[in-house]
Chains A and B, each alone.
Chain A
Amino acid sequence: MKAYRGWLLPLVALGAWWLASEYGWSRSGLWVSPQQVLATAIHEVASGHLWVALGASLARDLSGFAIGAGLGLALGCVLGLSALGNRLLGPSFNTFKQVSLFAWIPLISVWFGLGDVAKVVFLSLAALVPVVVNTADGLRNVPLPLLEVARVYGYSRWQSLTLVRLPAALPSIFTGLYLGLIYSWLATIGAEYLLVSGEGIGNTLIDGSEHFRMDLVLFGMLVIGTVGWLLNSLARLAERRLQRLYGTF
């Protein structure tokens, strides 16, 4: 019984919501019943609207993430492995990191328009930052004893990089990728909100809000939350797999 305590609050809230709409405690047109949200959900799923919107959002999310993570890994390696690179680029990157990501949106929209290009640029920026930070940190903070062992074995620079530093930095690099995945999903919603054009789950939310359809808004929030949670669990699963493959340091 104890394991189910977490369900109490959501169930009570749902029950109260249902009762309130059943007995018409609120006269506001914005007050929708749970059944109505369910009906909207079924309609959206059955009519295919959801899949079009979700597909467009996920495609954007993943391409932005791929670009941002790729660039981030490269930049993170430069910062983490080369003292010269770190000296040259580190301070600039740290300053860039401080600027709120969303402050870039107006500039991006002028430079790249309101379409998919602008959104993907924004998403890759969102994914880039955590990947760079964690990759560089991981490569910099390899435990000294490990490097000493590599030295005792007379490893070359290349060998100590591929056999010691990279594997030792892997957990941290993975944390960066994982954060990048979450950030880029958050940024997907933001991009659809602020660079309004085309399809996407964020646009579903805006439509619902503009037409005063609370049921559509609640459904959209549910979808966004679920996708975020799924991405989260997938990344954790992959992380565990990878750690089993390479062992943990």
Chain B
Amino acid sequence: MSRANSATWLRQQRWAWPTWPARGLARSLPWLLPLALFTTWAVGAQQGWVSPQVLPAPAYVYDTLKDLAISGDLWANTSASLQRVLLGYALGTSLGLVLGGLMGLSRAAEAYLLPSFNALVQIPVLGWLPFALLLFGIGEPLKYALIAHAALVPVTLGTLQAFRQAPVKWLEVGRAYGFSRRQLVTGVVLPAALPTLFTALRLGFTKAWLSLVVVELVASSEGLGYLIVYGRQLFQLDLVMAAVVVVGAIGYLIDRGFDALERRLGAWRPV
């Protein structure tokens, strides 16, 4: 059976939508749901179906966002958050790379360390929070520690995995050329590990960003998470929503950035 035939058949199996709608409709479909939600929100707020304390109008949220940007509050809080996440991420990632690299290169280190590591990983960031709160107090070290912890876990496990996945054939070629252990690591294992390593670093950053929000929600006096808490305490949902939009937008931008970087780096990739 020809490949094209199968593909056609496959499409038929998928409750394909009729072919009559024009291309334009197809392209506009993904926007239908967001548009419907937004319209309901806007109309509902305008008609007063729900009280503005529960759901502020979109225009109001936009105004709040603009005010925040103009008054400089937005930049102050965003930079506080970014500073925290970058420092915590740098800490957690460097420790994770060392730990993961150690376990990845030495089976003995893995046997000694991995079970304890796995046991500690079972406790989520929020489980550590009360412990860290008593240990570090409510200041900045608490945030760095928790964000570092959040990044540490995926980076360590990813590094460990990355170092283990060099194809056996490559290692055999290396050995056949009489590579020393050090040469094997720098010449074979490390290049083979790079793509997975990058994925781990990216996942680590996603986790760090998520836990930044959590940590700031629980304990902070500035930052984007603090804006959210503050808005909620004053029942200013416009402020909450504006802050959530900023958090989402930054998370999205960072994700795109990593994506672009990965594609750039992907140009060089071991076959």
Which of A's residues lie within 8 Å of B, judged by CB? 2, 5-10, 13, 30, 81-84, 87-92, 95, 98-107, 109-111, 144, 147-148, 151-152, 157, 160, 165, 186, 189-190, 193-194, 202, 205-206, 208-209, 212, 214, 217-218, 220-221, 224-226, 228-229, 232
Contact = CB atoms under 8 A, between A and B. Distances in A.
Contacts of B26: 87
A169 to B, nearest CB: 13
Dominant secondary structure at the B interface: helix
Contact of B16 (A83, A102, A206, A217): A83
A106 B252 CA distance: 20
Interface of B: 1, 6, 9-17, 26, 29-30, 32-34, 53-54, 108, 111-116, 119-120, 122-124, 126-131, 133-135, 209-210, 213-214, 217-218, 228-229, 231-232, 235, 237, 240-241, 244, 247-248, 251-252, 255
Nearest to A106: B232
A2 B115 CA distance: 13
A10 B116 contact: yes
Given A9-B112, A88-B32, A144-B6, 7 more contacts: A82-B14, A92-B30, A107-B240, A110-B240, A151-B6, A212-B134, A221-B130
Contact of B9 (A10, A83, A151, A225): A151
A148 B1 contact: yes
A186 B124 contact: yes
A7 to B, nearest CB: 7
A160 B14 CA distance: 11
Contact of B133 (A81, A82, A101, A209): A209
Given A2-B111, A105-B217, A147-B6, A9 B116 contact: yes
15 contacts: A5-B108, A10-B116, A82-B15, A88-B32, A95-B34, A98-B248, A99-B247, A102-B214, A107-B244, A147-B9, A157-B13, A189-B127, A209-B131, A218-B131, A220-B127
Contacts, number: 166
A8 B129 CA distance: 27
Contact of A205 (B9, B108, B112, B130): B130
B127 A103 contact: no
Contacts of A206: 130
B213 A190 contact: no
B210 A229 contact: no
Contact of B123 (A87, A91, A228): A228
B165 to A, nearest CB: 20
Contacts of A104: 244
Contacts of B115: 6-7, 9-10
A98 B116 contact: no
B217 A6 contact: no
A96 to B, nearest CB: 10
Nearest to A78: B15
A193 B244 CA distance: 19
Nearest to A186: B124
Given A90-B30, A186-B124, A98 B255 contact: yes
